[in-house]
Structure 1
Amino acid sequence: MKNNPLIFKLKIAKNKPSTFRKDKNNVCPFCDVEHLTDIYKQKEEMIWLHNRYPTLTDTLQTVLIESDDHNGDITTYDKNKNRKLIAFARDCYWETEKTERFQSVLWYKNYGPKSSGSLIHPHMQIVGLEKEDGYKYIQANNFEGITVLKKENIEVNFSTHPIQGYQEINVNILDNGETDLWADWIQISAQYVLEKMYNGRTDSYNLFFYPRFEGEGFCCKIIPRFYASPYFVGYKLSQCNDNENLEQEVKKLNEFALEKMGE
């Protein structure tokens, strides 16, 4: 398979603000709502706008500001707020995807210092790729695994064919309908990653949203972030924990979800 990397504009990246680097201006541009420009859509405190620092060639880079709380996150929002966010973000994805300008559209979220993000303020990114299939390395079995839950239009599992590894949680919505239960399980899974997985040693994660190969629905993949394995960095070889460990994680996630739902 031919490798066509996305071309990174270092000159633009040098000017990006960062709240993780001490040598950068720590003033948060997402808190300064009055001076935001190129806004596509707004609902309550959620704002979808053009990325002021487009660092990739042949793309449309957009940002979705999730909240006016600088230190907020999916893991800390109340259930109703999180449901509104996921529904709003999916609508913004569809608006980008339905245009004929892009070969593919990517939707993802960074959280924490190891997630490759530059700003703490909670946000997602929706990026249209004009010349590249962003899903060319993704396979249908990346969304499959040891089942945690099957209910209504939702299926949750620990991936047995992870993209990077070692423990990735897939939250699949199997149609393009109601997203509330999907949002609930995305939230619970992200909370589990930060609070319980690896005994609470995880401080970073990514959410990646993939349109499912069957034509309807999405997979939200929650990937805890550490420093990447050399097998992945050098060879694109993912690693997966053994089934005994994954079965234990399934049990612990179920117990964790029951606690959260009982709050």
Structure 2
Amino acid sequence: MNNDPIVFQMEQAKGKPQSYRKSKHKKICPFCDIDNLTDIYEQDGEIIWLKNKFPTLRDTLQTVLIESSNHHGDISTYSIEHNRKVIKFALHVFEKMNSSKKFQSVVWYKNYGPNSGGSLIHPHMQIVGLEHENGYKYIHPNNFEGETLFNNGNVEVNIAQHPVQGYTELNINTLNKNNLDLWADWIRSGAKYMLNVMYDGRCDSYNLFFYPREQDGYCAKFITRFNAPPYFVGYKLSQVNDEITLDKEAHRFRKFFDEGSKLENEK
């Protein structure tokens, strides 16, 4: 298999704002400065889909989806209703780009936290069209499988037994689009669980990747972000926790979702 890396254009990155880099000068967050946003494709209230102002990747169309007007917002802190709205809007945007036939593949992901590889704190997702690259060539069907902790026929949730990177990855699969609200609710719980419970709250960063699957299905995969393990960096070999640890995590996540849903319904 050929390794054809995506080319990063350093010149295009000049002037790109950075939330995590220390600076003596306070800069206005570009996603807070709504009146000066340009190249907006679609908008639904505070959710805005627009062209990335700093297209650093060659042969791509880089777009951004601003999730909220709250600079410090996140999936983990949104209301149930707002999170459902964000997920459905982002899915609509992804499918619109994917069906345009302008790209060999389209990828959809979210960075959160200082170790996620992102540059801005303000909550946003990225939907990127790759003109000549298959963004899924290193992804395999078993990356979406694992120890199932929930399955109602529309939504299946598991702890990955064949992670993309490792060690513990949460897979939230919608097997069809018949219950997107439940899918979004599990995604919201996954973000809360990853930041507050997994590793006893020591995780402050995650990536969330969305993968199209067969028959209108999708997988939302959470990957914790610490320093990447050397086996993955040097050899693309992922690592996975032992069976006892995975089983324990599956039971804890299911209990966390059930208790959180109960509390939400009691409000």
Same fold judged by TM-score > 0.5?
Answer: yes
Counterpart AA for 1:12: Q
**1:144-181 C-alpha deviation (Å, 9 max, x unpaired):** 00011001400000000000000000000001333100
Q: Match of 2:228?
A: 228
**1:32-58 C-alpha deviation (Å, 9 max, x unpaired):** 000000000000100000000000000
1:247 aligns with 2:247: yes
Partners in 2 of 1:246 and 1:146 — Cα distance?
8
Counterpart AA for 1:150: N
Partners in 2 of 1:125 and 1:203 — Cα distance?
20
Counterpart AA for 1:86: I
1:17 aligns with 2:17: yes
TM-score normalised by structure 2 residue count: 0.96
Q: 3-state DSSP class of the match of 2:102?
A: coil
Contact 1:19 1:119 in 2 (8 A): yes
**1:95-145 C-alpha deviation (Å, 9 max, x unpaired):** 100112100000000000000000000000000000000000000000000
Q: Match of 1:219?
A: 219
Partners in 2 of 1:148 and 1:15 — Cα distance?
45
Deviation at 1:25, TM superposition (A): 5.8
1:115 aligns with 2:119: no
State the aligned residue count.
262
Structure 1 residue ranges, 4+ long, deviating more than 4 angstroms after superposition: none
Partners in 1 of 2:142 and 2:130 — Cα distance?
24
Partners in 2 of 1:176 and 1:131 — Cα distance?
29
Counterpart AA for 2:240: C
Deviation at 1:62, TM superposition (A): 0.1
Identity of aligned residues (%): 57
Counterpart AA for 2:181: D
Matches within 5 A, 1:38-53: 38-53=39-54
Q: Please, what is the CA RMSD of the aligned residues?
A: 1.0
Matches within 5 A, 1:25-64: 26-64=27-65
Partners in 2 of 1:65 and 1:243 — Cα distance?
38
Unaligned runs of 5+ in 1: none
Unaligned runs of 5+ in 2: none
Q: 3-state DSSP class of the match of 1:141?
A: helix
Q: 3-state DSSP class of the match of 2:6?
A: coil
